[in-house]
Amino acid sequence: MPYRAIAFETGNIYHLYNRGNNRQNIFFERENYLHFLRLIRHYLTPETVEILAYCLMPNHYHLLVQFQTGSVSQQMKALSLAYTKGMNARYNRVGSLFQGRFCSIQVDREAYVVHLVRYIHLNPVKAELVSHPREWEFSSYREYAGLRQGTLPQLEWVQMLTGATDAYQMFLEDQSLPQEVSVRSLMLDE
């Protein structure tokens, strides 16, 4: 596979995502989601990235991260490989689980960060898996809404832009996703 054209830089924010090979599921049961979250904690340490938001969907995932080091390519590769090996062993399957390398887009404006966080948290609603984001266990929405005391997402920066718990919930429900965000970075088409 060709090398990435994007140059990762310390301090920048990136939307990292990937989906299942042939758009097939990568998570098959609740334990798979929890296992992936444990692997995220193991491979994407606070010294490497700050996770601002995340959502794990049946056939893909979204991570919004701020780099603490110049690159996380090796950590993301190790994460994908460890998860694939685990799923292959658990379900007696072979071959790749993901469609390829993870995708990444630099997020260079605060407004873009805010709208992307909203998109990530509304993803399960858009896919009609739940009627409200609080019902989806595998995203950082519950931390932002004050419904769970998680330690994976770093909330401060986004909350500074959107407001804390109640303000964030109103922000999420009151605004629609702008066209600018939905065109380029949100190419997964669930």
Segment 52-102, tens digit of pLDDT = 999 999 999 999 999 998 778 999 999 999 999 999 999 999 999 999 999
Q: What is the mean pLDDT of residues 5-15?
A: 81
Token match 């998680």: residue? 150
One DSSP character per residue, 52-92 reads EEEEEETTEEEEEEEESSS--HHHHHHHHHHHHHHHHHHTT
Q: What is the mean pLDDT of residues 90-115?
A: 90
Per-residue model confidence (pLDDT) at position 11: 85
First to last CA, the chain: 24
Q: Which residue has the higher pLDDT, 89 or 162?
A: 89
Whether residue 159 is predicted with pLDDT greater than 80 in this model: the reply is: no
Cβ neighbors of 73 (< 8 A, separation 6 or more) are 4, 8
Domains and CATH numbers, the chain: 13-183 (3.30.70.1290)
Write the CA distances from 184 to 105, 106, 129, integer angstroms. Answer: 9, 11, 23
Segment 43-63, tens digit of pLDDT = 999 889 999 999 999 999 999
Residue 31 corresponds to which tokens in the numbers above?
Answer: 């334990």
Cβ neighbors of 86 (< 8 A, separation 6 or more) are 35
- Contact yes or no for 123/63 (Cβ under 8 A): no
